Chain A
Amino acid sequence: MGLGFDIAHMLAGLMVLASLLLLYQDRLTALINVLRLHGLILALAVAWQAHIQSAPELFVSAAIALLVKALVIPGALDRIVERLGIHRSVETVGGIGLTMFAGMALVALSLRVMLPVTAGADPVSRQDIALALSVVLIGLLVMVTRRNALGQVAGFLSLENGIDLAAAGARGMPLVVELSVAFSVLIAFIVIGIFLFRIRERFDTVDLAALEAFRGERR
């Protein structure tokens, strides 16, 4: 089923593209929109995996991904941005060019590492896992290069999306993990929401530089 594999790889590649797009954004609303796109592509990728693996449980997983990651969470983040009146631009550490280049390097690295290592594994899963690892690493890069708490959350959510992609690509992985990953994303999100409120309450800003003053024993 060559076409099936190709579409799966295509969707995984589009996720990498969406992650790189996430790296490129410097305005909050655009960031949240790219998160929506990210979640949508994830849902499509998982649904396609469900189709080619003939695993109906994955359809449930895809529906959860669509609902939670493409609709609920970005919607709630939008509302947080509105209600907290957060400053709309996201300061980045390092220039855009350098970060994009680092993102490319991470994609290269993950492909270089994962493809030879998975030589003995299922051929469909191989490239999907390698691309999923790139999404994870780029999510990590987004977290590292953003000084705004919301930006870090966006990076973390894209990281989780990458892991979901990897889990869906691993043929036959039981639903337990998938449901729990979705479930703990929800909980993690509640925590995030609580924290953002508390951070705003305490600091009147969501800029993490303000948090830095209270790090360690500087008092």
Chain B
Amino acid sequence: MIALAAVLGVPLAAAFLLSFIAGYRLSARINGLASFVSFAGSLLFLVHRPAPGALFLVDDLNIVFIVLNCFVGFTTSLFSAGYIGHELESGKLTPASLRFYYAMYQLMLFCMSLALIAANIGLMWVAVELATLSTVMMVGIYRTHEAIEAAWKYFILGSVGIALALFGTILVYLAAHPVIGEGAQGMLWTALLAHAWKFDPALLDTAFVFLLLGYGTKIGLVPMHAWLPDAHAEGPTPISAVLSGLLLNVALYALLRFKILLAACPGAIAPGPLMIALGLASTLLAALMLYRRRDIKRLFAYSSIEQMGIIVFSFGVAGPLGNLAGLLQMTMHSLTKSAIFFSVGHVAQVKGTQRMAEMGGLTESHPLLGWTLVAGVIAIAGLPPFGLFTSEFLVVSSSFSRAPLLTAILVLGLLLSFGALLLRLGKIAFGPVRGETAPVRASSAPIFAHLALVLTAGLWLPPPLVAWFRHAASLLG
């Protein structure tokens, strides 16, 4: 109960409170405090889970993501404190939009936690929609031409995706209706799972297609990905971190819930081929697009698309190992990508630009920033000993036994992105110093925390985590 209040109630209250507070330092502190309280509350879930109710549900699938959500929310709030201060000073943000920013930040965290904890598929949908809306408003906060274009595109594409996802949800309810009857029971996830084997397979299939298209837009799968690079590049960096690290995961989590339903219904077609196709397309396209990027945030946005493609591919191939690999990759990617965005944010602030041609020799001019960026990029490129290597290795090895040709294509995509990222890294981090060299007040604690976690995970995974993921993987079919 306390944990629920902390994870859900605190961000909501903080959002309300922060919309009134004008002082920058105070709001930054309240933001950080509220995020910390949610994080602490989520840790309570690890110890004691509430019984599955009509509204909330904590099980093996979402426990890790809830904790991860609150953790990344907390570290991002620490990062954002310093970052926003700098933005205020440089005049890119006005004090009026500051209240808006912090209120929306907490609202967004609330919505994402709600989406993860919701036991009712309708409630989950509502939370994802509200999270989308709050991030849309934040992407456009700088009010430049590019920011508005990015926000408008995100809004339109995101809303269409959400609408399709709602249609899929309605179809799931329609499939459940003859079996479970009317009312809220027909949307309760536990009830749905218990009766899934009696559902009409054709209807469930159609529902899943809509859900895949709808939530897939929010995940950033090709060809619905058009909003992602612009939204990442034009919004404030904390938002890029949250988008990549959290919102993509939440959307994928929603999709996974429905995949479990589909797996529990024997007559339904395997969603595998569709997910494999979308995943591969995303990986390849994003890997190719990495080569010509000139903006650093856009580069890592495409990297997010690529990683999501790998994850969806892995879930498409399925099987216990494949699903486990996907879940692991989701966690690792979230931590790594947000760490990268933290350092990229500071780099962009220091250099005063996001164009990579104007940055160089970071390890010389700003050693701390430079080397953390190097570590982050090595992590995201999938090199050992970081956790992403473990998960990617699992993906490749588990899918190789099932679909060798497709895995070969995936590995091609991985290699392409590997090359692109390291090439870029070389130019930015090493070589002659380019751009401004003023020192920066970087909050390095969040970056270190994330990278340390990813490094540890590469070497040792806590057994309860593996157990939870194994169980979820078995449900995913």
A touching B, CB within 8 angstroms: yes
Residues of A within 8 A of B174 (CB): 118, 121-122, 125, 129, 170
**A159–B160 CB distance below 8 A:** yes
- Rounded to whole angstroms, the CA-CA distance of A45 and B175 in the bound complex is 22
Majority DSSP secondary structure for residues of A touching B: helix
Knowing A113-B206, A121-B175, the reply to whether A152 touches B229 (Cβ < 8 A) is: no
**B170–A170 CB distance below 8 A:** yes
Residues of A within 8 A of B229 (CB): 216
Residues of A within 8 A of B140 (CB): 195, 198
Among B178-186, B215-223, B278-286, the stretch that binds chain A is: B178-186
- Rounded to whole angstroms, the CA-CA distance of A118 and B166 in the bound complex is 17
**A172–B182 CB distance below 8 A:** yes
Q: Mark A180-219, 1 if CB is under 8 A from B, else 0.
A: 1100100110011011001100110000000100111100
Residues of A within 8 A of B293 (CB): 217
Knowing A119-B202, A140-B160, A195-B152, the reply to whether A215 touches B167 (Cβ < 8 A) is: no
B143 at the interface (CB under 8 A from A): yes
Residues of A within 8 A of B44 (CB): none
> Smallest Cβ distance from B120 to chain A, in angstroms?
7
Majority DSSP secondary structure for residues of B touching A: helix
Q: Mark A107-141, 1 if CB is under 8 A from B, else 0.
A: 00000011011111110010001000100100010
Residues of B within 8 A of A217 (CB): 293-295, 298
Knowing A184-B126, A187-B130, A198-B140, the reply to whether A156 touches B230 (Cβ < 8 A) is: no
- Rounded to whole angstroms, the CA-CA distance of A166 and B169 in the bound complex is 10
Contact of A166 (CB < 8 Å), options: B136, B143, B146, B167: B167
How many chain-B residues does the 8 Å CB contact rule pick out?
53
Residues of B within 8 A of A152 (CB): 156
Q: Closest chain B residue to A196 by CB distance?
A: B152
Give residues of chain B (107-163) contacting chain A, Cβ–Cβ below 8 Å: 120, 122-123, 125-126, 129-130, 133, 136-137, 140, 143-146, 148-149, 151-153, 155-156, 159-160, 163
A22 at the interface (CB under 8 A from B): no
A85 at the interface (CB under 8 A from B): no
B211 at the interface (CB under 8 A from A): no
B43 at the interface (CB under 8 A from A): no
How many chain-A residues does the 8 Å CB contact rule pick out?
48
Give the interface centre of A117, A133, A203, A215 by most chain B CB atoms within 10 Å: A117
Knowing A181-B166, A217-B293, A217-B294, the reply to whether A170 touches B173 (Cβ < 8 A) is: yes
Q: Mark B174-198, 1 if CB is under 8 A from A, else 0.
A: 1101100111101100000000000
**B167–A136 CB distance below 8 A:** yes
Q: Closest chain B residue to A192 by CB distance?
A: B155
**B178–A215 CB distance below 8 A:** no
**B295–A176 CB distance below 8 A:** no
**B151–A216 CB distance below 8 A:** no
Contact of A188 (CB < 8 Å), options: B125, B159, B294: B159
- Rounded to whole angstroms, the CA-CA distance of A143 and B175 in the bound complex is 29
- Rounded to whole angstroms, the CA-CA distance of A89 and B152 in the bound complex is 21
> Smallest Cβ distance from A212 to chain B, in angstroms?
8
**A191–B133 CB distance below 8 A:** yes
9 A-B pairs closest in CB distance: A172-B182, A177-B122, A120-B200, A180-B126, A174-B184, A214-B149, A117-B202, A214-B145, A211-B149
Other A-B pairs, 4, CB within 8 Å; known A195-B140, A203-B145:
A122-B174, A136-B167, A176-B123, A191-B133
A: residues with CB less than 8 A from B are 113-114, 116-122, 125, 129, 133, 136, 140, 143, 149, 152, 156, 159-160, 163, 166-167, 170-174, 176-177, 180-181, 184, 187-188, 191-192, 194-195, 198-199, 202-203, 211, 214-217
B: residues with CB less than 8 A from A are 120, 122-123, 125-126, 129-130, 133, 136-137, 140, 143-146, 148-149, 151-153, 155-156, 159-160, 163-164, 166-167, 169-171, 173-175, 177-178, 181-184, 186-187, 200, 202-203, 205-206, 229-230, 293-295, 298
